[in-house]
Structure 1
Amino acid sequence: MDLITPNIGLIFWQLVIFLIVLFLLAKFAWKPILGSLKEREDSIESALRMAEQAKLEMQQLKAGNEKLIAEARMERDKMMQEATLMANQLIEQAKDKATEEGSRMIMQAREAIQNEKHAALTEVKNTAAKLSIDIAERILRRELADAGSQQQLVDSYLKDVKLN
């Protein structure tokens, strides 16, 4: 039970030992402990500052990336517009060329048709003339087979000549 009710001597010695330990801790241990705590606090604060700075840099990089993406999209759109314009121009040129070629072919076909028509008409005229001559020759041979008929024909021609 002596431990439960402390003596003045025990309290005194406990107080002296506590003060010695406190003095030794203050003299040798508090400064290194406080220094390490201060170091740790500084390193944590530095890490927080670096994290904040990294966060700002990431935001700046993100903004820069968004700007680059927007520029790339604008350039892509511009290139697409130019490509569409060029494609439309090529289509128009091809249409114009096809129209021109078609017109040229139509003109050539018309000229060929005209040439064929003239050739056919000339051939028809020549054939008609030949047939007319053949028919006239056959008629004249039949009618002028005797000398009297021939004399009558010559006389009628001479009368026509005198009248003119």
Structure 2
Amino acid sequence: MLFVLLDFSPIKPDFGLFFWTVLIFLIFWFLMGKMAFGPIKDALKKRENDIQDALDESKKAREEMANMKSENAKMQAQANDDRAKILQEAKDMKNSIINEAKDKAKEEANKIVANAKIEIDNQRKAAVNDIKNQAGVMAIEIAESLIKKNLKGDAEQEDLVNTLVDKFNLN
């Protein structure tokens, strides 16, 4: 209804209507540029910077990850080398301990054998001395019994004793 009263024609607009429309349009876009597009532009710029920062951090993280992987590989290799050295040292120590134990066992066995030989020799000498003593005692007993049978009188016994005493005094 308002269009009817104003004699409005959309095909042939009036200059005043055109002027005010353009002026309001320009003011609208000026205000939009100041009020809306500035913050939108700032938000887009901030978002773009955030995305770029995230990409840079991602790239940096990938580089750090690659460096960490290479360092990890180096550390793994070093750990493997250290483990191999420790195992080799343990094997060498084991062989050394075994060889020392064998040497000590041989020395101990040689000492035991030497002590056994000495003991056997001592026992053999003791047995020989015992046999000699027993043989001497038996010889004395046999001689005593023979002499007693042969020397029945006191005079014969005194002559034998004097002869033996003289013989021992000469020696």
Cα RMSD (Å): 2.7
Identity %: 10
- The alpha-carbon deviation at position 39 of structure 1 amounts to 3.5
Q: Is the aligned partner of 1:102 residue 2:101?
A: no
Separation in structure 2 between the aligned mates of residue 90 and residue 67 of structure 1, nearest angstrom:
34
User: What count of residue pairs does the alignment treat as equivalent?
Assistant: 147
| Alignment partner, residue 29 of structure 1 | 31
Q: Is the aligned partner of 1:117 residue 2:120?
A: yes
Note closer, same or farther for the CA distance 1:6–1:94 as it changes in structure 2 (3 Å cut): farther
- The alpha-carbon deviation at position 4 of structure 1 amounts to 7.0
| Worse overlay, 2-11 or 109-118 | 2-11
Separation in structure 2 between the aligned mates of residue 111 and residue 105 of structure 1, nearest angstrom:
10
| Alignment partner, residue 22 of structure 2 | 19
- Any residues of structure 2 matched to 1:1-164 within 5 Å, and which? 2-3=1-2, 7-9=6-8, 12=14, 14-26=17-29, 28-29=30-31, 31-32=33-34, 33-145=36-148, 146-147=150-151
The alignment's TM-score, normalised by the length of structure 1, stands at: 0.75
| Alignment partner, residue 162 of structure 1 | none
- The alpha-carbon deviation at position 7 of structure 1 amounts to 4.3
Q: Structure 2: where are the runs of 5+ without partners? A: 157-171
The Cα offsets for residues 62-105 of structure 1, whole Å up to 9 and x where unpaired, read as 11111222222222222211211111111111111111111111
- The alpha-carbon deviation at position 45 of structure 1 amounts to 2.3
Q: Structure 1: where are the runs of 5+ without partners? A: 151-164
| Worse overlay, 41-50 or 31-40 | 31-40
- The runs of at least 4 aligned residues of structure 1 exceeding 6 Å deviation read none
